């Protein structure tokens, strides 16, 4: 038996015995292409990788702009536990009340307090373990919002990793890589995983920080990569070349790639023990941990 096979078998026994809490987080779903592949594959991925908890960023799921109650329900039925959003959270104006009625759907915690919805929640996996999910949005090159670092601290107040929460996952929806790294280091040792979303391009820096927090600058998107960050190419290219808009952006409709990470955490400490990028389908080179 190879050393890799031995490690895989040992990891499998730890998963079966509950010694590992395994969580997957997927990047922004963009349009029908990304949504369809997620709905087709998520249940199988939960089984194949023994996922205990799944978080998906769904802010571009409805035609590239926002999310609807029907899409939320489809994703929950497929196996999502929590949905995050970002700067496009409220784009589907007719459906904005879902942020008040669906506790598993989060908007950034540093939005104005009067805005619909909530920015964090304590949820349970199927074994009854507590997973705190926190969603914040960056300030650099983004729409105005309150201080995301203070908001993250506020959401963590009174919650000790490994005690009140078996895992803490933070979706930092931000443009600047520097701000994302700053958030990772700011929360190192206090969160199980800090992931960046928003730029729709997966980064190759998934690793565990010095204090035990898993980190990646951007998960990438779940959508068609034969595009301009998920959008059909003609209109973005026209605007780049001519500076003239001739219509709305529309999501690219080709084969999608699912992008995200899988993190293993130690429920005793809540800290990350392993992190793997995952890319499935579409144009990008596939990558996944051993099942």
Catalytic residues: 88
Give every CB contact of residue 259 below 8 A, 6+ residues apart in sequence: 26, 27, 202, 219, 220, 221, 222, 277, 278, 279, 284
Are 136 and 172 in contact, with CB atoms under 8 Å apart? yes
Q: How far apart are CA 271 and CA 161, in angstroms?
A: 8
Q: How far apart are CA 82 and CA 106, in angstroms?
A: 8
Counting beta carbons within 10 angstroms of the beta carbon of residue 205, is it exposed (0 to 12), middle (13 to 18) or buried (19 or more)? Answer: middle
Give every CB contact of residue 144 below 8 A, 6+ residues apart in sequence: none
Q: How far apart are CA 144 and CA 135, in angstroms?
A: 16
Residue 223 DSSP symbol: B
């Amino acid at each position: 038996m190879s050393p890799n096979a031995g490690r895989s078998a040992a990891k499998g026994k730890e998963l079966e015995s509950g010694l590992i809490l395994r969580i997957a987080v997927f990047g922004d779903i963009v349009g029908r292409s990304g949504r369809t592949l997620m709905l087709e594959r998520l249940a199988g991925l939960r089984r194949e990788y023994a996922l205990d908890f799944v978080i998906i960023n769904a802010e571009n799921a409805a035609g590239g702009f926002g999310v609807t109650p029907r899409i939320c329900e489809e994703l929950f039925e497929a196996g999502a536990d929590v949905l995050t959003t970002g700067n496009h959270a409220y784009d589907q104006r007719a459906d904005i009340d879902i942020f008040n009625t669906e506790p598993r759907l989060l908007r950034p915690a540093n939005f104005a307090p009067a805005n619909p919805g909530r920015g964090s929640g304590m949820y349970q996996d199927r074994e009854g373990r507590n997973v705190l999910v926190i969603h914040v949005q960056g300030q650099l090159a983004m729409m105005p919002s309150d201080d995301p670092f203070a908001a993250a601290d506020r959401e963590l107040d009174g919650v000790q990793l490994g005690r009140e929460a078996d895992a803490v996952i933070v979706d930092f929806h931000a443009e600047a890589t520097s701000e994302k790294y700053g958030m990772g280091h700011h929360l190192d040792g206090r969160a199980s995983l800090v992931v960046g979303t928003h730029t729709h391009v997966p980064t190759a820096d998934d690793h565990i920080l010095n204090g035990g927090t898993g980190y990646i600058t951007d998960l990438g998107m779940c959508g068609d990569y034969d595009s301009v960050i998920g959008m059909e190419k003609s209109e973005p290219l026209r605007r780049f070349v001519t500076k003239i808009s001739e219509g709305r952006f529309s999501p690219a409709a080709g084969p999608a790639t699912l992008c995200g990470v899988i993190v293993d955490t130690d429920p005793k400490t809540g800290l990350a023990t392993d992190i793997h990028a995952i890319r499935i389908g579409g144009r990008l080179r596939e990558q996944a941990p051993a099942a």
